[in-house]
Chain A
Amino acid sequence: MAAPLLEPARPATLRLAFAPDLASARAVSVAIRTFLAEQGVAEKELFSYELCISEASNNAVEYAEGYARNLRPVAEALFTPSQIELRVTDHTAGFDLPEKIAAPSPLTDRGRGLFLIQSVMDEVRYLRGTKENTLVMRKKRRAVPAPAAVTLDPFNPQSVEKYSQQLSESSAQMARMAEELKLRSETLSSVFRCCAELGRIDKVSASFEKRLLVDLVHLTSADWYVLRTLSADGRRLLVTAASEHDLASKVIDLPEAGGTPASIEASVAASLKAARFDNRESSDPHEPLRTVGPGGAGLVCPLHFGGTLVGTIAVGRRNGDFPLGRLQDEVIHAFAEFLAIQTLNLRRQKDEVRNLVVARELEIAQTIQQLLLPRTLPQLSGFSVAGGWQSAREVGGDFYDAIALDDQSLLLMIADVMGKGVPAALFATTMRGLLLGLAAQSSDPSQLMGGLNRLLYKELSSVSMFITAQIVHVDLKTRKLTAASAGHCPLHFVQQGRRSISTMQIKGLPLGVMPDTEYPHMTALMGTPAALLLYTDGLTDRRNPAGKTYGQTRLKTWLRLNAIPGRSATEVRDLLATELNRFRGDADMSDDQAFLILVEEGAGVARIVPAGRRRVRLRRGAFLFPTTA
């Protein structure tokens, strides 16, 4: 009875990475010869295989240049009874392998190695990659029938022969189990190596997937791989890494909900189910995986974890006659899962780092903002000053200040730096410092504004920024207001002899627009009791949920009704803040806003409150009130 042919589902494999020196190359050739002998390859064949591995390994060592001299080439032998495949992966610049190398002259010194390989093997291919190349050498063999399973019968006269057959089968099975164990342990060590690497580096390397995939290809004896990741919009699969350049070309669109996937990888991504493919059974010319060749076959696995799709991985061989086995499939699944988890972990880590950075920036912004606004405002005899501020962002460009010149006069200033954030805040602090310096020489708003423009023009124009500002000199004794404006919104106040609120609109270009420009001033006498409001346009431009702006008319009406005798500036300020928040409702803040109020309270002693030590705590969207007493 003819024994049935037992063809292993996958080849017995030996894979050896070796140090790039000739002694190690030699040791590898001997080890592969021994491995093939263990598989039952006849002595007379072994010489040829040893020769091929030896030639290829020596080339891998001798032609490595530069940094590649530190990289370990890999030699592999894959055995099935019907075919032996040898592979050597090198890190050389590579070469063009001719279809058929002619026999070199016996009188030449070179070119025998590849000629010998081609003479001895049936098929020789050289797969060239960017950083490594693989020489694949195949030899078909006449399959040797393996012994059939036997039932042990001690009374059978041929029982010694059967014992021996069974023994040889058991040892073959043990060899397969040992191989399986080795593959699993190498999978684990590759995964651990990757984990260790991820743990060690501060800056997460984007190429960890690639290193993992090189291990995967070696472990499964695959020819090629393509790793795709899901685009940010979740609609396409982009190539992240591929074993060869021409596999990396196509972007794959994922189908709309209910649509038909146009490729194997898209179908795997849509279904989250792995799929095998074989180009010999498909004729779709648009299939991206056709690039691996007409005989290519392999496995496509989704990269997903907890229902989140990360991408896909396709791994396979160019020759479908020699497909990946069940164990290789398992290894690919394990790698796919690990890769998906690692990718998601990395994203989470990056998000955490980003949140920490945002929190730190917010902290810095708060510190800057505290420097921007005066901690205290001067309170003069019978008059009080209060300011409110609210920012659409963490650092605003609106700010104000009040400087007491003497017992009877003070300067009020409000400004809005075009642009927000830290650059605007830096200009704001500079401007406050300059104003303090200039106020020691002059108290005339026109001169002060002109001086500020001259000093700030160069810096502002070089970064294409400008500042709108308003400076008001208040003489409490004569009740005279003198104001100058640099493109700022108008001033509202109670004018002598009038019951309604007056508006003072003064001409003037914003600071930083023209190097030398005049800032005319306007004067007016304050009514009794006095009330004065300086503000930035964020206040009147504030919109309610219906989209209506607060506007000047509404502001003036509110001021007339609320800046009444007996109320301090702080009280009026609190009421205005409440009013503005009421008006805004749930609408988002679109701009910063600030205002400065001066009101007449009644008799009192002139006093200038020294700078306090209270820290101003900021809450986004809440009005910030410096201390007034």
Chain B
Amino acid sequence: MKIENQGECLSISDIPELTAQNSASFRDEVQAALGASPGLIEINLSKTRFMDSSGLGALFALYRATAQRPGVILRLLNPVPEIEQLLELTQMQQLFEIVRR
């Protein structure tokens, strides 16, 4: 996993999977990087092949951590179709800006 702080944008990428096994460390690492108060948090899911409910839980934890900060955008970039379906099934697509490019 790669975390890059590009000024206003905190970019997280290279996440092969988000599961019960690694979701806690994912959450903790990203939350630790939030200290710089970015305006945009972009989670690049293009390389994420698998996610389970714990992975969804980690994304939800990020949503909650940023919900109190007005103006902060939480963006999921290029999720694979299966993960996009998972977000829709759990109605969690409402919490994030999902972008394909």
Q: Is the CB of B56 within 8 A of A112?
A: yes
Is B34 close to A, CB under 8 A? no
Using CB atoms, name the residue of chain B closest to A62. Answer: B20
Compute how far the CA of A554 lies from the CA of B89 in the bound complex, rounded to whole angstroms. 104
Q: At the interface with chain B, which of A50-58, A188-196, A512-520, A532-540? A: A50-58
Q: Which of B21, B50, B57, B95 contacts A23 (CB 8 A)?
A: B21
Q: Is the CB of B52 within 8 A of A109?
A: no
- B31 at interface (Cβ–Cβ under 8 A)? no
- What is the 8 Å Cβ interface bit string for chain B, positions 57-101, against chain A (1 contact, 0 not)? 100110000000000000000000110001001111011000000
Known pairs A26-B19, A112-B53; A106 contacts B91 (CB<8 A)? yes
Residues of B within 8 A of A104 (CB): 90
Given A103-B90, A106-B91, the answer on whether A112 and B57 have CB atoms closer than 8 Å is: yes
The CA-CA distance from A51 to B54 in the complex, in Å, is: 11
Cβ < 8 Å to A, chain B residues 1-49: 19-21
- Residues of A within 8 Å of B19, CB to CB, are 22, 26, 29, 54, 58
Among B19, B61, B91, max chain A CB count under 10 A is at: B19
Q: How far is the CA of A112 from the CA of B88 in the complex (A)?
A: 12
**Interchain CA distance A23-B20 in the complex, whole Å:** 9
Q: Mark A41-76, 1 if CB is under 8 A from B, else 0.
A: 000100100110011001001100000000000000
Chain B: minimal CB distance from A305 (Å): 48
B interface, size bucket: 20 to 34
Select from chain A the residue with minimum beta-carbon distance to B23. A22
- A455 on the B face (CB < 8 A): no
Name the A residues within 8 Å of B57 (CB-CB): 109-110, 112
Query: Which residue in chain B gives the minimum CB-CB distance to A44?
Result: B82
CA distance A303 to B60 in the complex (A): 56
Contact of A51 among B61, B81, B86, B91 (CB under 8 A): B86
Among A26, A44, A109, which residue has its beta carbon within 8 angstroms of that of B60?
A109
With A22-B20, A55-B53, A112-B57 known as contacts, the answer to whether A103 contacts B82 (CB < 8 A) is no
Q: Are A47 and B82 in contact (CB under 8 A)?
A: yes
- Give chain B residues whose Cβ lies under 8 Å from the Cβ of A621: none
Minimum CB–CB distance from B51 to chain A (whole Å) comes to 8
Closest B residue, CB atoms, query A48: B82
Contact A116:B90 (CB < 8 A) given known A26-B20, A58-B20, A62-B20: yes
| A113 CB–B CB distance under 8 Å | yes
For the complex, is A25 an interface residue (Cβ under 8 Å from B)?
Answer: yes
A80 at the interface (CB under 8 A from B): no
Closest residue of chain B to A117, judged by CB?
B53
A366 cross-chain contacts in B, Cβ below 8 A:
none
Q: Report the count of interface residues on A (CB-CB < 8 A).
A: 26
Known: A109-B57, A109-B60, A119-B89. Contact between A55 and B52, CB under 8 A? yes
Closest to A115 in B: B90
- Chain B residues lying within 8 Å of A26, measured Cβ to Cβ, are 19-21
Residues of B within 8 A of A55 (CB): 52-53
Digitize A91-116: 1 where CB-to-B-CB distance is under 8 Å, 0 elsewhere: 00000000000011111011011011
The answer for the CA separation of A623 and B48 in the assembled complex, in Å, is 95
Q: Which residue of B lies closest to A50 (CB)?
A: B50
Q: Of the candidates A22, A51, A107, A112, which one forms a contact with B21 in the assembled complex, judged by CB atoms under 8 Å apart?
A: A22
Within 8 A of B (CB), among A12-50: 22-23, 25-26, 29, 44, 47, 50
Give the residue name and chain of the B residue nearest to A57 (CB): B20
Q: From residue B31, how far is it (CB to closest CB) to chain A in Å?
A: 15
Q: A558 CB to closest chain B CB, in angstroms? A: 95
Please state if A58 and B52 are interface contacts (CB–CB under 8 Å): yes
A51 x B94 contact (CB < 8 A): no
A residues 516-553 in Cβ contact with B at 8 Å: none
B90 and A112 within 8 A (CB): yes
A25 touches which of B20, B56, B60 (Cβ 8 Å): B20
Q: CB-nearest residue of chain B relative to A51?
A: B52
B52 to chain A, nearest CB (A): 5
Chain A positions 352 through 379: 1 when the CB is less than 8 Å from some CB of chain B, otherwise 0:
0000000000000000000000000000
Q: Tell whether, in the assembled complex, residue B54 and residue A58 are in contact, meaning their CB atoms are under 8 Å apart.
A: yes
Q: What is the chain B residue whose CB lies nearest that of A111?
A: B53
Give Cα A323 to B18, complex, Å.
37
Shortest CB distance B84–A (Å): 11
Q: Which residues of A sit under 8 angstroms from B54, Cβ to Cβ?
A: 58
- Which of B20, B61, B82, B91 contacts A54, CB < 8 Å? B20
Residue of A nearest to B96 (CB): A106
Chain A positions within 8 Å of B95 at CB level? 106-107
Q: A22-B20, A55-B52, A107-B95 are in contact. List 13 more A-B contacts (CB 8 A).
A: A22-B19, A25-B20, A44-B82, A51-B50, A51-B86, A54-B20, A58-B19, A61-B20, A103-B89, A106-B90, A115-B90, A116-B86, A119-B89
Q: Which 5 A-B pairs have the closest CB atoms?
A: A47-B82, A112-B53, A58-B20, A113-B53, A106-B91
**Interface CB pairs A-B, < 8 A, 5:** A22-B19, A55-B53, A103-B90, A112-B56, A119-B89
